[in-house]
Structure 1
Amino acid sequence: MSDKDVLISMGFDAARVDWALRATNNRGLQPAMDHILEHNDDPIPDPSAQASAPAPAQPQGEPMDEDDDDTAALRAAYGGAGASGASATAGDLEAKSIKCAECGKTFRNTAMANFHAEKSGHDQFEESTEEIKPLTEDEKKQKLAELREKMAEKRAKKAIEEAKDAKANEQIRRKSGKDAVQAKEDLKMKQLTKEAEAKRREKVEEAKARAAIKEQIEADKRERAAKAAREKALRDGTPLPGQSAGPSSAPAAAAPAPAVAGREFKETRLQIRLASGGQPYTTTLSSDATLREVAEFVAGQTLAVDVETVTFAQHFPRKQFSKADFSKTLRDLGLTPSAVLIAS
């Protein structure tokens, strides 16, 4: 049954129904009913002055929105399914309505009864001679107001549910953001801890290196002092420190001992300091290595030193090495077993 038939069955004037359908461009039953109620006291304009548009056919299988349930109820209540309603009364002329045997409600036609059965789950119906009077204008307005109120309640309920969903989604988004920030902070803290531990180990290693260098320097000082004392004792013909005086031939016999002892060292520990300052370089070379090899070692450690132009000096005992010394071994230069050189 069309929207026009439903509205006419509700008791509205056919001309006013045509006017409402034209004015709402046949958008449906609800807009047309709203137009009729709003312009109930207005005169009906001349139809020839307005272009009429055919009512659009309802697409087959198109889903109905949740808010259209009440419109469907109006359609069933005032239009019904014409064929079904006719079949309900064709067999018995006195049957004016259909009654639910379970709740006692009466319905105008089979469509309304089916709608009630779907909503309530009732399945016991019987024909009734009770005639359902058409709704008055006040009853129509009241029914329409009830339907509108029900639609508004559904929309409000839907809005509340959407707001809850939005709030839950926002909480999930915020929690994800907090988790990401926390993970980032944890990663940063681990990185800082790792860097601090590396710096601590570096300081410990530097302290150990400084202590080793200091100890090496002290050992070199003691060694040089002992060497100088031996050489002085040999020159003066006095007993070596820690030895008692012996026959006059003892110093002569002991004279070659330092040279022999010096040649017994197979390796020489060197500490090379730059005249321009900076961290000293330490290495251990063969006692047979030449001074040029020492220059090559230092040049490999820093670009500030060139093998061809670098010179070496020794503070204690004070000595300046020339280019001719570059071909001599560390043993020949008296740098064994350890020495400190100044490179410039």
Structure 2
Amino acid sequence: MAGDKSQLLEMGFEEARVNWALRATKNAGLQPAMDHILANMDNDVPEAGGPEGEEDGLSGSGEDLVARSIKCSDCGKIFRSQNSASLHAEKSGHENFEESTEEVCVLHSSAHDGSLSADYAAFPDAVQIKPLTDEEKKAKIEELRAKLAEKRATQSKEDAKEAKANEKIRRKAGQDFGKIKEDLEVKEIAKDVERRKAEKLADQKARAAIKAQIEADKKERAEKAAREKAARAGQSSTDSPAVQQPLAKPSAAVKSSDNPDTRLQIRLSVGGQPLTKTFPSDNTLIDVAEFVASENLAYDVSTVTFASTFPRKTYSRDEMSKTLKENGLTPSAVLMAS
């Protein structure tokens, strides 16, 4: 590349040796070319068309194809470096430049009087370059290596800084994800707690309903036992020989099943307080259903059903049309409405 060649020439290396290094490294860059020059400082520069040139993969005319200068297409002047061409463009206003294989005449100071070569008149834009000593060459090389090392160090710092920024972004993303996951877990735990509370409350209500049912059944059995005991006690006192009373006619006695009124306790499956009411014994279960529907809107007359707890029985739709007496509910009974 023209830029790499210009820098090597400015460092004081011979042009032929620079061309050899660029050919050998196939224009891989400044550092490989400089390493080649340093490694072959004690070796002669091979001819471009010679065996060394063939090893470099170049033809015999490869020397002529190497850009040796920059040419102004507007005026035809040639320049050794990009800086010279830029200076010419600023002064002349020319804009069209191209790489050229022509050599730029390099004028050296005379060893005796310091005057310039006579060829200077033919090349007014030529540059006077004083050959560098070995110490100056080494100094230039060390300077260039220091710049390259500084550039690498700067790039390494930039890479480390970028890696640190990327790591910070990655950690922040991980923290955000962890916080989202934690929030979701907290919400799930809260939902689980609420669900367990609801289940516990429902279980308590069910237990309370069962307990109330058991207490009601106990009370009902106690009342029934008391009525049967009172009935037996009344019959015994009537049959006693110490009491001289005329026997009552069988037709005059009133059986409990013939009671004109029937007292019902109706327990609701939807919850709430049981309903208690005394009905005429000739009322039907449909009349009872109408009463339940009027007291609780959750029930409908056409769909409500009744069941007794003792004895356990569910009344059919045909039995709903029968009277309370016909269904054996007189004088009192407990019904479950559903």
TM-score, reference length from structure 1: 0.53
The change in CA–CA distance for 1:147 and 1:222 in structure 2 (over 3 A counts) is same
Question: What aligned pairs does 1:208-219 form with structure 2 within 5 A after superposition?
Answer: 208-219=208-219
Alignment length, in residue pairs?
A: 237
Q: Which residue of 1 aligns with 2:149?
A: 149
Question: What aligned pairs does 1:1-344 form with structure 2 within 5 A after superposition?
Answer: 2-48=3-49, 49=54, 50-51=57-58, 79=81, 81-83=83-85, 134=132, 136-233=136-233, 235-236=235-236, 255-256=253-254, 258-259=256-257, 261=259, 263-265=261-263, 267=264, 269=266, 288-289=284-285, 329-335=323-329, 337-339=332-334
**Quick check: 1:263–1:331 contact (8 Å CA) kept in 2?**
no
User: Which one-letter code corresponds to 1:24 in the other structure?
Assistant: T
State how far apart, in whole Å, the 2-side matches of 1:81 and 1:20 are.
22
Give the superposition deviation at 1:134: 4.8
Give the superposition deviation at 1:251: 11
Q: Which structure has the greater CA radius of gyration?
A: 2
**Quick check: 1:26–1:55 contact (8 Å CA) kept in 2?**
no
Give the superposition deviation at 1:254: 9.2
State how far apart, in whole Å, the 2-side matches of 1:158 and 1:219 are.
91
**Quick check: 1:24–1:31 contact (8 Å CA) kept in 2?**
yes
Q: What's the secondary structure of 1:47's corresponding residue?
A: coil
Q: What's the secondary structure of 2:13's corresponding residue?
A: coil
Structure 1 unmatched ranges of 5 or more? 57-77, 90-130, 240-244, 272-282, 294-311
Q: What's the secondary structure of 1:256's corresponding residue?
A: coil
Q: Which residue of 2 aligns with 1:103?
A: none
> Which consecutive segments of 4 or more residues in structure 1 shift more than 6 A?
52-56, 86-89, 247-254, 283-287, 324-327
User: Which one-letter code corresponds to 2:37 in the other structure?
Assistant: I
Q: What's the secondary structure of 1:264's corresponding residue?
A: strand
Give the superposition deviation at 1:250: 9.9
User: Which one-letter code corresponds to 1:204 in the other structure?
Assistant: Q
State how far apart, in whole Å, the 1-side matches of 2:309 and 2:185 are.
55
User: Which one-letter code corresponds to 1:264 in the other structure?
Assistant: T
State how far apart, in whole Å, the 2-side matches of 1:203 and 1:254 are.
53
**Quick check: 1:3–1:28 contact (8 Å CA) kept in 2?**
yes
State how far apart, in whole Å, the 2-side matches of 1:184 and 1:51 are.
70
**More deviation, 207-216/327-336:** 327-336
Q: What's the secondary structure of 1:41's corresponding residue?
A: coil
Q: What's the secondary structure of 2:146's corresponding residue?
A: helix
Give the superposition deviation at 1:150: 0.8
Give the superposition deviation at 1:201: 0.3
- Matched-pair identity in %: 25
Give the superposition deviation at 1:16: 1.8
Structure 2 unmatched ranges of 5 or more? 68-79, 92-128, 269-273, 290-307
**Quick check: 1:20–1:35 contact (8 Å CA) kept in 2?**
yes
The change in CA–CA distance for 1:270 and 1:46 in structure 2 (over 3 A counts) is same
Spell out, residue by residue over 1:198-235, the C-alpha distance to the aligned partner (whole angstroms, 9 max, x if none): 22202211221122111211221123123323543554
